[in-house]
Structure 1
Amino acid sequence: MTIIAPSILAADFARLGEETRAIAQAGADWIHLDVMDGHFVPNISFGPAVVKALRPCTDKFFDVHLMIAPADPYLAAFAEAGADAITVHVEAGPHIHRSLQTIRALGKRAGVALNPGTPASSIEPLLDMLDLVLVMSVNPGFGGQSFIDSSLETLARVKAMTAGRSIDISVDGGITPETAGAAASAGAGILVAGSAAFKGGPDAYGKNVAAIREAAQSATGRDGVRC
C-alpha cells in the first residue's frame, strides 16, 4: 500500500486550517507536519500550538517530523497536541534510544529520520524501538528542493535492514510524479510531498495527489487503497 503524506510546509500559512481540510479531502492519506527550530535546520516553521489548532480540521493521521534539537523536551507537548507519530533525527540528541522510548511511552508511533549524510547503519541498534524510518531525500530545512538520487540507495539499505519487521519506510524531499516511482521502487511506502501536492491551489490538490500515487503504483504494482 502506498501512503501519500502531503507536507503542510508547502501550504498557504494564511489559510492553514482550510488548506489542511482541502488536502485531506483531496485524497491525502496522512498529513505531514514539518517542525523546524532555526537551529537544527536553517528555518523556523511552527510548534505544538499549530499542531493542536489543526487537529480538529481532519481525522487524518498526523505525521509530525521534528527537525529540532534537542527534541526530548518537546515530545510530550507534540503528543498532547495531537501527533499520531513523532519522528526525530539521529543527531537530535545524545540518547536517541531514550527519545524513541519516550515517544512510545506517550502512546505514539516512534520514528527516526536519516539526513542525506547520515548512514543507514546508524539505525541498526534502534530497530526494536522503531515504527517508522524517514529517509530525507533533500537536506532538511526548506521545501521545493530537488531530489537527491543517492537517497535511493539509502532507501534500499533501510528496506533490507527492516525486512520482516513492522516498520514503515517514508521518504521526504523532492517527491513529484517524476521521482515517486523510483522512491517507491527503492522501498518507500510513504511518500511525503510538499510543493508537488499543494501546487495550483485547492482545485488542483486531488489531481496532484492522484498523480503521485499513480506514479508510485505504476512502478511497484502496490495497492493504492488509503489507510
Structure 2
Amino acid sequence: MTEPLVVPSVLPADFARLGEEVRELCEAGVDRIQWDVMDGVFVPNLTFGPDLIAAARPYSTVGFEAHLMVVEPDELLGRYVDAGCELVIVHAEACRHLHRTLARIRDLGARSGVALNPHTPVDTVAHVLAETDLVLAMTVNPGFGGQAYICAVEPKIARLRRMIDESELPIELEVDGGITEVTIRGAAAAGADVFISGSWMYAYPDGKAAAVKRLRAAAKGEEV
C-alpha cells in the first residue's frame, strides 16, 4: 500500500472563519483539503461557491480538491480551477459525456476525478480511466455530513482497486463518507489510498493533528 493520504472535508467547519480553519488543517498535517460543492439539486444542500474557495486559498499550504455534487458540472469547471482547486471531481451520475468532462478538467490545467455513488456500478468508469487521475468511491449517499459508513461498498472498492492496478495508470482511489479510526481499516484493506474525513476529525477530542496521525496509523493497520 502507498502512504495513505488524509484529506479533511471542511463541511463541518465554522463558515464564519474558513480562512483560519484552513490554516489550522494545514498545521495539523493534512495532505490536501476537500471542498464539498453542493447545488441544492443533485443533493439537497447548498454549500461553497468558487469565490469563497478563492478567498480561502491564500490560507492554505496544501492543495484543494473540489468535489462537485452538482447537476451541470461542465458549466462550473473553469471557475473552480480558477479558484485554486488543483483537483476537480465530478459525479459520473451527473455527466452526460463523462469522457469529455474529464478531458476538459485536464485541459483547464487541473487533475481530474470521478465519483461514484454507492449504488453506481464499477464498470461506469472502466472506459475513462485514461482521462482520470482519481476515482472516488462514496461510502455514504452524498449530500450530508455525519452519515454512517456503508461497509457494503468495500467489495466495490476492491473491484476498483483491481481495475486501477490492471490499468497500470497512476490513479488514486479515494473514499468519502463516515471515515473514522475504525471504518478506515476496512476501506484501506479493500484498496483505498486517499481518505476523506469530516465530522469525525472535527469532533476528535485530542484535536485535528492527533486525528490525522490516528487515521494514518489505522489505515496502515498499525495499533492506535
Count of aligned pairs between the two proteins: 219
For residue 217 of structure 1, report the CA deviation from its aligned partner.
Answer: 1.4
Q: Distance between the aligned counterparts of 1:182 and 1:101, measured in 2?
A: 32
Which residue does the alignment assign to 2:199?
Answer: 195
Give 1:140 deviation, angstroms.
0.1
Q: 1:114-136: CA deviations, max 9, x gaps? A: 00010111001111111000010
1:208 and 2:214 equivalent? Answer: no
The two structures have a TM-score, normalised by structure 2, of 0.95
- 1:5 partnered with 2:17: no
**Which residue does 2:95 correspond to in 1?**
93
Q: What's the counterpart of residue 173 of structure 2?
A: 169
Instruction: State the distance in 2 between where 1:188 and 1:160 align.
Output: 11
Mapping of 1:32-47 within 5 angstroms?
Answer: 32-47=34-49
1:60 aligns with 2:95: no
Write the distance in 2 (CA, Å) between the matches of 1:152 and 1:93.
24
1:123-138 matches, within 5 Å, as 123-138=125-140
Aligned partner of residue 64 in structure 2, secondary structure: strand
Q: Distance in 2 between matches of 1:65 and 1:112?
A: 9
Structure 1 residue identity aligned to 2:67: H
Query: Which amino acid letter does the alignment assign opposite residue 212 of structure 2?
Result: V
Q: Which runs of 4+ in 1 moved over 4 A?
A: none
Q: Which residue of 2 aligns with 1:224?
A: none
1:225 — aligned with what? none
Deviations 1:35-61 (A, max 9, x none): 000000111111101110111011201
The TM-score with structure 1 as length reference comes to 0.93
Which letter does structure 1 place at the counterpart of 2:120?
A: T
Distance in 2 (CA, whole Å) between partners of 1:51 and 1:135 is: 24
Structure 1 unaligned blocks of 5 or more:
222-227
Partners of 2:214 and 2:199 in 1: how far apart? 13
Residue 165 of structure 1: how far off its partner (Å) = 1.4
1:68-127 CA distance string (max 9 Å, x none): 011000000001010010000001121111110100001110000000010111001111
Give SS of 2:85's match: coil
SS of 1:4's equivalent in the other structure is strand
Q: Do structure 1's residue 186 and structure 2's residue 190 form an aligned pair?
A: yes
**Aligned partner of residue 112 in structure 1, secondary structure:** strand
- In the alignment, the residues of structure 1 paired with residue 22 and residue 118 of structure 2 have an alpha-carbon distance, to the nearest angstrom, of 28
Give the % identical residues.
45
Instruction: Letter of the 2:162 partner, please give it.
Output: A
SS in 2 for 1:134: strand
